[in-house]
Amino acid sequence: MSAIAAEHVTKVFGRGETEVVALKDVNLTVEPGELVALMGPSGSGKTTLLRALSLIDPPSRGCITIGGQQICGDAVATVDDRRLRREKVGIIFQSYNLIPFLTAAENVALVLTLNGVPRGEALRRARELLQSLDLAHRADTYPATLSGGEQQRLAVARAVINNPAVILADEPTAALDTERGKAVMGLLRRLGRERGAAVIVVTHDERMLEGFDHIYHMVDGRIANN
């Protein structure tokens, strides 16, 4: 069974003269453990596709399947859909969406406590992961005091702490130098290879895609090579 799939996904923004068809009949299937990159020019639909796959902004037409559960069309996300997303999908947005009044460790631990892990254990696991991302010294500070690169790595930590079955990352290395970028990609690769996560990464940087299984190119709302 695939980890995540998009079938005939179309996404339309606006209507009439301002209508934009951001995704046009997109099909994409990613198996557990597979590493997939999405490349393509600005405005080609990469972020829209990740948002559709994550059920944050469902497609206008077509279906998303996550872990065997299928959601079609633009039905408003149900409680069930939201639980599916929380349990199965880790998302790294271009804007990091960190919670400003929680420390770095608390931002990461929150994902676990929302999923029922006791607070002490959640914080311990959060600190461990922050250590592996070279952020241990920042664990007790607030997001606003972190550099752009540190915020990006914190967003990565929060997305992966729960061992999600699916990881969706929108340019997760954009604010990082080469070495830290490679460390983040290495972590995503390990989550795929060792834990069986399906990983979909949007990136502009081919150098970061060592060891990826598929590189898809998006053009004008379509995947050109799929």
Residues that bind Mg ion (CB under 5 A): 46-47
Residue of minimal CB distance from Mg ion?
Answer: 47
Residues 6 or more apart in contact with residue 176 via CB below 8 angstroms: 149, 152, 153, 184
Q: Does 13 bind ligand ADP (CB under 6 A)?
A: yes
Token pair recorded at residue 61: 């037409």
Residue with structure tokens 């914080």? 123
On the CB side of 28, how many CA atoms lie within 13 Å of its CA? 33
Pattern of binders to ligand ADP over 24-53, x per CB under 6 A?
----------------x-xxxxxxx-----
Cβ atoms of 22 and 12 within 8 Å: the answer is yes
Q: Does 20 bind ligand ADP (CB under 6 A)?
A: yes
Cβ atoms of 138 and 116 within 8 Å: the answer is no
Q: State the binding partner of 186 from Mg ion, ligand ADP, none, CB within 5 to 8 A by kind.
A: none
User: Which of 5, 22, 139, 201 touches ligand ADP (CB under 6 A)?
Assistant: 22
Given the rule CB under 6 A, which of 13-21, 64-72, 73-81, 179-187 is the region that contacts ligand ADP?
A: 13-21
Q: Which is nearer to ligand ADP, 46 or 125 (CB)?
A: 46
Pattern of binders to ligand ADP over 186-225, x per CB under 6 A?
----------------------------------------
Smallest gap from residue 179 Cβ to ligand ADP (A): 26
Stretch (H or E) spanning 9: strand 4-13
Distance CA 130, CA 189 (A): 17
Cβ atoms of 134 and 179 within 8 Å: the answer is no
Distance CA 113, CA 122 (A): 6
Smallest gap from residue 74 Cβ to ligand ADP (A): 13
**Where along the sequence are the contacts to ligand ADP (CB under 6 A)?**
13-14, 20, 22, 40, 42-48
